[in-house]
Chain A
Amino acid sequence: MTDTNSTAPAIAVEDLWQVFGENAASALRDARGAGDDKAIAQALKDKTLIPAVRAANFEVKSGELFVIMGLSGSGKSTLIRCISRLIEPTAGSVRIDGEDILQASDKRLIDLRRHKLGMVFQHFGLFPHMTVADNVAFPLKMQGAGKAERRTRAMEVLELVGLKGREDTYPRNLSGGQRQRVGIARSLAVNPDIWFLDEPFSALDPLIRRQLQDEFLNIQATLKKSIVFITHDIQEALKLADRIAIMRDGEIVQIGTPEEIVLHPVDDYVAEFSKDVPKGRHACVESILMDGIPDNMPDDPGIKIGMTLDTALTKCMELYEPVPVRDAEGKVIGAVHPHELANALQAEET
Chain B
Amino acid sequence: MSAVEAVPQGAGRRVSLTRGSQAALFVLAVVLLCRLLGAQFEWLVKWPAALTVPMADWMTWLVGGFLDVFKPIARTFTFLVSYPMEWVGWLLNAVPWPMTVALVTAIGWMIGGLRLAALGFFGLMFVVFTGYWSQGMNTLALVAVSVPLALVMGAAIGILAFEYPRMKGAVNALLDVMQTVPTFAYLVPLLVLFGFGPVVGLIASAIYAAPPMARNVLLGLERVDTEIREAAVMSGGTRRQQLFLVELPAATQQIMIGVNQCLMAALSMVIIAAVIGGFDDIGWEVLQTMRKALFGPAFLAGSVVVVFAIIIDRMSAALAEPRQPQNRTVAYGILAVGAAVTIWAVLAGWPPSGVAAMDGVAKRVDEGVGVFTATYGTTLDSIKNTSMFYGLLPLRIGLAEAVLPFTWGFAWTVKHTAMLYGAALLISLILIFKGRVTAAVMVLIIAYIAEIGVAHLAWPVVILGAGAIGWVSGGWKLARLAVILLSLILISGLWERALLSLYLAGAAVFACAVIGGLLGLWSAMSSTAWMILRPICDFLQTIPLFVFLIPVLMFFQIGEFSAFIAICMYAVVPMIRYTRHGLVSTPDDIIEAATASGAGKWQTMFEVRAPFAAPTILLGLNQTILYAFAMLVIAALIGTTELGQSIFLALGQYDVGLGITAGAAMAILALVADRLVQGFAEERRQALGL
CA distance A109 to B238 in the complex (A): 10
In the complex, the chain A residue whose C-beta lies closest to that of B241 is A142
User: Would you call A119 an interface residue if the criterion is a C-beta within 8 Å of the partner chain's C-beta atoms?
Assistant: yes
Contact, CB under 8 Å: A125 / B231: yes
> Contact at B227–A127, with CB atoms within 8 Å?
no
Residues of B within 8 A of A129 (CB): 249-250, 252
B230 on the interface (CB 8 Å rule)? yes
Known: A127-B228, A129-B252. A118 touches B234 (CB 8 A): yes
Interface check A111, CB cutoff 8 A = yes
Task: Please name the residue on chain B nearest to A128 by beta carbon.
Answer: B250
B225-264, CB < 8 A from A:
225, 227-228, 230-238, 241, 245-246, 249-250, 252
Q: Is the CB of A123 within 8 A of B225?
A: yes
Are A113 and B235 closer than 8 Å at their CB atoms? Answer: yes
Give the most central of A130, A138, A187, A190: most B CB within 10 Å: A138
Q: What is the bound-complex CA distance between A187 and B625, given in angstroms?
A: 51
B189 to A: closest C-beta gap in Å? 41
B493 to chain A, nearest CB (A): 45
| A123 contacts across to B, CB distance below 8 A | 225, 227
Q: Is A117 in contact with chain B by the CB < 8 A criterion? A: yes
Known: A86-B234, A110-B236, A113-B235. A125 touches B241 (CB 8 A): no
List B residues 211-230 near A (Cβ within 8 Å). Answer: 225, 227-228, 230
Measured between beta carbons, the chain B residues less than 8 angstroms from A127 are 228, 231-232, 246, 249-250
User: What sequence of 0s and 1s flags, for each residue 139-156 of chain A, a beta carbon within 8 Å of any chain B beta carbon?
Assistant: 101110000000000000
A84 contact from B227, B234, B250, Cβ within 8 A = B234
Query: A86: which of B230, B237, B241 is its contact (CB, 8 Å)?
Result: B230
**Most chain A Cβ neighbours within 10 Å, of B230, B232, B234:** B234
Whether A243 is near chain B, meaning CB under 8 Å from some CB there, is: no
Give the docked Cα–Cα distance between A118 and B236 (Å): 10
List, in ascending order, chain B residues with CB within 8 A of A20's CB. none
Contact status A126-B228, CB under 8 Å: yes
Considering only CB atoms, which chain A residue lies closest to B230 in the complex?
Answer: A86
- Taking a contact as CB atoms under 8 Å apart, the answer to whether B246 and A110 are in contact is no
Q: With A127-B246, A129-B250 known to touch, is A119 a contact of B238 (CB < 8 Å)? A: no
In whole angstroms, how far apart are the Cα atoms of A124 and B227 in the complex?
A: 7
A-B contacts, CB under 8 A, total: 68
Contact with A along B46-81 (1 / 0, CB 8 A): 000000000000000000000000000000000000
Given the interface contacts A86-B230, A123-B227, A124-B227, does A139 sit within 8 Å of B249 by beta carbon?
Answer: no
State how many angstroms separate the Cβ of A202 from the closest Cβ of chain B. 13
Cβ contacts under 8 Å, A121 to chain B:
227, 230-231
Q: What A residues does B246 contact at CB under 8 A?
A: 127, 138
Residue A110 contacts which of B225, B228, B231, B238 (CB distance < 8 angstroms)? B238
Query: Beta-carbon contacts of A99-112 to B below 8 Å, as 1s and 0s?
Result: 00000000000111
**Complex CA–CA separation, A149 to B109 (angstroms):** 37
Q: Which residues of B contact A126 (CB under 8 A)?
A: 228, 231
Contact A139 B250 (CB under 8 A): no
Q: Is A54 an interface residue (CB 8 A)?
A: no
Range of interface residues on B (Cβ < 8 Å): 10 to 19
User: A130 contacts which chain B residues (CB < 8 A)?
Assistant: 249
Residues of A within 8 A of B228 (CB): 125-128
CA–CA, A124 and B228, complex, Å: 8
A338 to chain B minimum Cβ distance, whole angstroms, is 51
CB contacts (< 8 Å) of B236 on chain A: these are 110-115, 139, 142-143, 190
Known: A110-B237, A114-B236. A119 touches B231 (CB 8 A): yes
Is A142 within 8 A of B237, CB to CB? yes
Least Cβ–Cβ distance between A330 and chain B, in angstroms: 49
Docked complex Cα distance between A139 and B242 (Å): 11
Query: In the complex, which of the residues B231, B232, B233, B236 has the most CB atoms of chain A within 10 Å of its own CB atom?
Result: B236
Residue of chain A at shortest CB distance from B251: A129
Q: A119 touching B234 by the CB < 8 A rule?
A: yes
Min Cβ gap A238→B in Å is 26
CB-based nearest A residue for B235: A139
Check: A186 CB closer than 8 A to any chain B CB.
yes
Give the docked Cα–Cα distance between A121 and B252 (Å): 22
- The answer to the question of A122 belonging to the interface, with a C-beta cut-off of 8 Å to chain B, is yes
Closest residue of chain B to A196 (Cβ to Cβ) is B234
**CA–CA, A55 to B181, complex, Å?**
54
- Cα–Cα, bound, A126→B227 (Å): 8
A125 to chain B, nearest CB (A): 3
Q: How far is the CA of A225 from the CA of B231 in the complex (A)?
A: 19
Closest Cβ of chain A to B223, distance in Å, is 12
Pick the residue among B230, B231, B250 that contacts A186 (CB under 8 A). B231
What's the nearest-Cβ distance from chain A to residue B50, in Å?
49
* Assembled-state Cα–Cα distance A130/B246 (Å): 9
Residues of chain A with a CB closer than 8 A to B245's CB: 138, 141
Distance, CA A116 to CA B207, complexed state (A): 47
CB atoms of B227 and A113 under 8 A apart: no
Tell me, in angstroms, the Cα distance from A84 to B227 when the chains sit together.
Answer: 13
CB-CB < 8 A to A196: which residues of B?
234
The minimal Cβ–Cβ distance linking A123 to chain B, given in whole angstroms, is 5
Contact present for A122 and B227 (CB under 8 Å): yes
* CB proximity of B230 to chain A, nearest CB, Å: 5
In the complex, per-residue mask of A191-219: 1 if CB is within 8 Å of any chain B CB, else 0: 00000100000000000000000000000
Q: How far is the CB of A127 from chain B (nearest CB, A)?
A: 6
**Could you give, for residues 75-90 of chain A, a 1 whenever the CB lies within 8 Å of some chain B CB and a 0 otherwise?**
0000001001010000
Residues of B within 8 A of A141 (CB): 245
State the CA gap A196–B234 with chains docked (Å).
10
Tell me, rounded to whole Å, the shortest Cβ–Cβ distance linking B321 to chain A. 14
Closest residue of A by beta carbon distance from B242: A142
Q: How far is the CA of A121 from the CA of B228 in the complex (A)?
A: 9
> How distant is the Cα of A81 from the Cα of B234 in the complex, in angstroms?
10
Q: Which residue on chain B has the smallest CB distance to residue A140?
A: B235
Q: List the A residue with the shortest CB-CB distance to B236.
A: A114
Bound form: Cα–Cα A43–B232 in Å: 36
Shortest Cβ gap from B245 to chain A (Å):
8
**Contact residues in B for A111 (Cβ distance below 8 Å):** 236
Closest to A118 in B: B234
Closest Cβ of chain A to B60, distance in Å, is 46
Residues from chain A with Cβ under 8 Å of B238 in the complex = 110
Residues of A within 8 A of B232 (CB): 127, 138
B164 to chain A, nearest CB (A): 16
Q: How far is the CA of A138 from the CA of B234 in the complex (A)?
A: 10
For A143, give the chain B residue with the smallest CB separation: B236
- Kindly report which residue of chain A lies nearest to residue B322, judged by CB atoms: A172
Q: Which are the 8 A-B pairs with shortest beta-carbon distances?
A: A114-B236, A125-B227, A113-B236, A139-B235, A125-B231, A121-B227, A119-B234, A129-B249
Using a CB–CB cutoff of 8 Å, the interface residues on chain B facing chain A are 225, 227-228, 230-238, 241, 245-246, 249-250, 252
A/B interface sample: 14 pairs, CB < 8 A: A86-B233, A110-B238, A112-B236, A113-B234, A113-B236, A117-B234, A119-B231, A124-B227, A126-B231, A127-B231, A139-B236, A142-B235, A143-B236, A196-B234
Which residue numbers of A lie inside 8 Å of B, CB to CB? Answer: 81, 84, 86, 110-115, 117-119, 121-130, 138-139, 141-143, 183, 186-187, 190, 196
Give 15 new A-B contacts, CB below 8 A, not counting A127-B232, A138-B246: A86-B230, A110-B237, A114-B235, A114-B236, A117-B234, A121-B230, A125-B231, A127-B246, A128-B228, A128-B250, A139-B235, A142-B235, A142-B236, A143-B236, A190-B236
